[in-house]
Amino acid sequence: MQFKYLKQLLCLFLMMIVVYVPNVVFASLNKTIIFVPHDNRPISFKQTADNIRDLGYEVLTPPEELLGNRENPYAKPEELSKWVIENAKKADAAVISSDSMIYGSLVASRKHNLSEDVVLARVHNFEKIHQANPNMKLYVFGSIMRTPQTSEASGSEDANYYAQYGTDIARYTALTDKLEQDGLTHKERKQLKQYEQKIPKAALDDWLSRRQGNFLVSKNLIDLARNDVITYLALGCDDNAKYSQTNKERRALDNYGSDLGELKYQSVAGIDEIGYVLLTRAVNNLQGDIPFVSVHYAKGTGENTIPAYSNEPIKNSIATHIKMAGGMKVNSDKRADLVFMVNTNFDGTTGAANDLNNVYIPNENIIDFVNMVDEAVQANKKVGIGDITFGNGSDNALMFSLYGKNLLDKLNAYSGWNTPTNSTGYALAMGMGANYTDRVGILKMLEVRYLDDWLYQANIRQAVANRLNSMPGEGDYGNTKTRTLPAEKLATEALQKMIADYGLEKFEGQSYVADAQIRFPWQRMFEADIVFPEEKVSVEEKIEK
């Protein structure tokens, strides 16, 4: 009972922060939020915005041609800024990617050749947004430039020379970071000198100079948060490691913003999920609520798992994501608005969802985990799952076991897409948002994740990839080119069959799911758009045309 009163006091305090600003009182809340993602990928843009719309909010998004895409990651930042300024007076809150506003997109932040003067001038567009509507809460998220650990991991989304020297650059900067943190052995010092000689000076200078410009942008964003232009700033560490240039810069930025406190600034491992996390923060603040979240892990390494693409234990990332989203971590399920469960490998490793070892037969760890989920659901708890045994897709054994126990339509949140921290952050945001909608609304959000993360990413993706070479035309996994349409057709057929096999269209209010289709808007198989029949013409119609 005492805890209940504490929550009421916390929520009252939050309401006072949201509603009262010096010299300004909001007469009403129109539940309107501007959202600028860091590119136009479906999960970054449409799927995230739709999840907030499903909560009853109006979400204003810019014309898609102003956002970065695969063909043109540099987009139109100046026009985008004008659009935000023009629409600012209509909104109660705005969640904005600084990468889109300054560089054009997340990918452009890694490859641009903009001068320091240009990028710093664009930072000041946030002051113009604030001036256009001082009452609007301005939530900003940006990336600390990533350090892919291998040339292959870059996926051609970094400067061209990274394809050749990326692995060496990552190892070189890992050593420079380790030197700063822990010191180097004699052998490591020799390795450092070898990398200095091996990597062309022009390539390394270019990479580091771009990072320096981006680093200055992040410092200026922290200054804007310090001056209350930005209500809250989140910086995400894209592909990262314990020792890396990304990790080194994060420490420096956290130190620079140390005076702000967690209510103004935080950094976290991960980036693609942060738009959704901050939209959830905006909703929680507008609702005047602080969701309480309890967290449980699978047996074994569990909370101490350091997942792929991250530099910290998953428990740290989850704790930060909860705070970023405007929630509070609690130790008791009885007090929790969301019971969040994290599916991890017993040994703490992260596999790849499209590998052959992503089987449907559950091991003892999965059986125990699903029983834990079942117990919470049976106790009428609101349960969310962050599925990180594998990266870039679901754990088949987990999903098949949840299906076998009729738990798929009982959850409040689920995610198993992209990197592990992307998955946990996304699922946490979904679980908190579920407090503001009904069961049909929750299922609508869940269905997209089941179709994308489970059916497509963990199963259909590799099956279609294996048949690409037999299709007419040109294209491969990374660029489907003229094979895009037949690949979409094959993937759609497989998707619809699996939907029927698992009865996903039979969930309450979800009959439309039976005709779901798959698109590859970036002409690569790494991500898919899940399209429902009322949105697009069929694949067959496109081919006929």
SS (H, E, C) 203-261: HHHHHHHHHHHHHHHHHHHHHHHHCCCCCEEEEEECCCCCCCHHHHHHHHHHHHCCCCC
3-state SS class at 267: strand
Q: Which domains does the chain have, with CATH numbers?
A: 17-149+198-288 (3.40.50), 293-471 (3.40.50)
What length does the chain have?
Answer: 545
Q: Which residues contact 378 (CB under 8 A, 6 or more apart)?
A: none
Specify the pLDDT at position 311. 85
Tell me how far apart the alpha carbons of residues 370 and 376 are, in angstroms, rounded to a whole number. 10
Q: Are 166 and 158 in contact (CB under 8 A)?
A: yes
State the pLDDT at residue 156. 73
- CA dihedral (194, 200, 206, 208) in degrees, to 10, reads 0
| Residues whose CB is less than 8 angstroms from the CB of residue 242 and which lie 6 or more positions away in sequence, other chains included | 306, 311, 312
3-state class of 192 per DSSP? helix
Whole-angstrom distance, CA of residue 457 vs CA of residue 35: 26
> What is the predicted pLDDT for the residue at 98?
98
Q: Are 343 and 320 in contact (CB under 8 A)?
A: no
Residue 329 forms beta bridges with which residues? 293
Residue 405: count of CB within 10 angstroms of its CB = 14
Cα separation values, 293 from 56, 331, 442, Å = 22, 8, 17
- Written as one string, the DSSP assignment of 382-393 is -EEEEE-SEESS
Whose tokens are 């000041």? That residue is: 124
CA angle 367, 373, 375 (to 5 degrees): 100
- What is the predicted pLDDT for the residue at 240? 77
User: What is the spatial distance between Cα 360 and Cα 16, in angstroms, rounded to a whole number?
Assistant: 50
Give the C-alpha separation, 246 to 148, whole Å: 10
Write out the DSSP string of 403-452.
Answer: HHTT-TTT-SEEE--SSHHHHHHHHHHHHHHGGGS-HHHHHHHHHHHIII
DSSP annotation string for 453-472 = IIIIIIIIHHHHHTTGGGSS
Written in H, E and C, the secondary structure of 53-99 is HCCCCEEECCCHHHCCCCCCCCCCHHHHHHHHHHHHHHCCEEEEEHH
Question: Helix, strand or coil for residue 518?
Answer: strand
Q: Which two tokens stand for residue 1?
A: 């009972």
pLDDT score, position 11: 57
- Identify whether the C-beta of residue 91 lies closer than 8 Å to the C-beta of residue 50: no
Residue recorded with tokens 């309450």: 508
Tell me if residue 112 falls in helix, strand or coil: coil
* Strand duo 93-97 + 58-60: pairing: unpaired
- Stated pTM of the model: 0.92
Q: What is the pLDDT of residue 262?
A: 95
Angle (CA) 135-123-67 rounded to 5° is 90
* 8 A C-beta contact, residue 341 and residue 372: yes
Is there a contact between 297 and 342 (Cβ–Cβ < 8 Å)? Answer: yes
Mean pLDDT, 10 residues at a time, over the chain (545 residues)?
54 48 39 97 96 97 97 97 97 98 97 95 97 98 93 82 93 96 96 96 95 97 98 91 92 97 95 97 97 98 93 95 98 96 96 93 97 98 98 97 98 95 97 97 98 98 96 96 98 98 97 97 94 60 45
Residue with tokens 């009182």: 25
50's CB contacts (< 8 A; 6+ apart) are none
The whole-angstrom separation of Cα 445 and Cα 433 is 10
Look at residue 435 in the predicted model and tell me its pLDDT: 94
What CA–CA distance (Å, rounded) separates 229 from 3?
34
Which residues, including other chains, have CB under 8 Å from residue 376's CB and lie 6 or more apart?
333, 339, 341, 383
Scan for tokens 């929550």, then name that residue. Answer: 7
Q: Which helix (H) or strand (E) segment is 539 a member of?
A: helix 539-544
Beta bridge partners of 178: none
